[in-house]
Structure 1
Amino acid sequence: MKIAVAGKGGAGKTLLAGGLAFLLARAGYTTIAIDADSAPNLGFLLGLSPGDAGRIVPVSKNETLIAAKTGTGYPGVYTLNFTVDDVVQKYAVPTPSGVHLLVMGTVVSMGAGCTCPANSVIRALLRHLVVDRDEVIIMDMEAGVEHLGRGTAENVDMMLVVSDANRQSLSLAGAIVQMAQDAGIPRIALVGNRIADAGQEHVIREFAGANNLEVMGMIPFDPSVVRAGIEGNPISSLEGSVAIRTIGEILSRIEPGTKEKLSAVQGFDRSKPV
């Protein structure tokens, strides 16, 4: 199971990515979460302290790693023939949530010096994680659409596009969906977030219908999520909340085989309405 989560900044993609990874790990799946955002904060949600999270050097900025993989000893000359199977073991960080976290970062600009080595390492590592390894991979993508142009979500099984009812958020969701379709991602679905009333849900479902999009679920507005953000609490503090139970429902729709395992997870009670 390899899932990329995309959307507008602030739409809730990190909550969804973190919630999926947390539930999968709690249900017994070996899970790697990839933070591919230019402003990574998935580590906090997965329970890392600010100090531990701050010590993580994103792969895109790890000059030692990039030089070891692409260096030839000749200035300006790089090799693109390298392996990355050792990177996960060395750089994936265990978190209190049970998820291993790999902070990928991103190459922000193609204009400030040669970024080819960093791009090459990131793309090779993502391909290795998605294609060659058996773990569950949940990828929290960079906000916006630029990452799709760089091919960072190639070969995933599914992309979940997160949006609230805001028209700007939905407009960007439409652009992400179009680029994901052009990239050949086999399954693309929309997830509504922070849904406060039936009117907001209707707006999102109307948008999905107009764009022939599968709707995977609607995460209600949940004050406990707001409180956790203000207090800096991890995703584990939300176990049993309506948001996490809804994310569990979404996961069981994505992969029905997880239904029984999820039902055994403390706090995920399928008998409760969501």
Structure 2
Amino acid sequence: MEQPKYKRVVLKLSGEAMAGNQGFGIEANTIHSIATQVKELIELNVEVAVVVGGGNIWRGISGSSQGIDRATADYMGMLATVMNSLALQDALETIEVPTRVQTSIEMQQIAEPYIRRRAIRHLEKGRVVIFASGTGNPFFSTDTTAALRAAEIEAEVILMAKNNVDGVYSADPKLDPDAQKYDQLTYMEVLNKNLGVMDSTASSLCMDNHIPLLVFSIMEEGNIKRAILGEKIGTLVKGSV
């Protein structure tokens, strides 16, 4: 049997990853593909928590630039993450993967409130736990949520699945043909070079709590499993090289 490198992980999905090639909204085939890949991890007895962004539906910063109060715009973004989380939960349970959505903002009719010990117990029982609505506070990104929840549940790694890039580059590879891909970086290099992997709050939180980050493309089928098995894909970011 294949041996996973990690026992407990946080999978960070951008909102754009939920939209697939259509670029906005929720694309059913893409979510089914993600759910199928997550099921492969469960079958390897890996404990999986998921943090989903909301950029395919709403971005707080964009709303703020349109004149909406920043805190209000961020709360709207949190609701977008709940929509994505429910869609992913449905896709997982359709293929018989038990799943719980926990929200930082209470909405008991549709999800559990976030309780750390309950989340860990769900993971121990083989359930996928999806953390929705960010940290519950404006001015914090879902990257920060992933870092915070990873520290709280003692995850061994954050898997950052991207839909438009296969790792960390020295510049935007779509704009700069000379951009070079990094195989490995330290969090300090990420911060000093302003590489934009995560926001600085999330990077600092991961660095301080010694949580490695693996950035890779989700568009290639099977990449999440490859990451779990320790294959060399994407870019690994950690405290020291």
TM-score strictly above 0.5: no
Q: More relative contact order in 1 or in 2 (CA 8 Å, sep 6+)?
A: 1
TM category (shorter chain) comes to 0.3 to 0.5
Over alpha carbons, which structure has the higher Rg?
A: 1
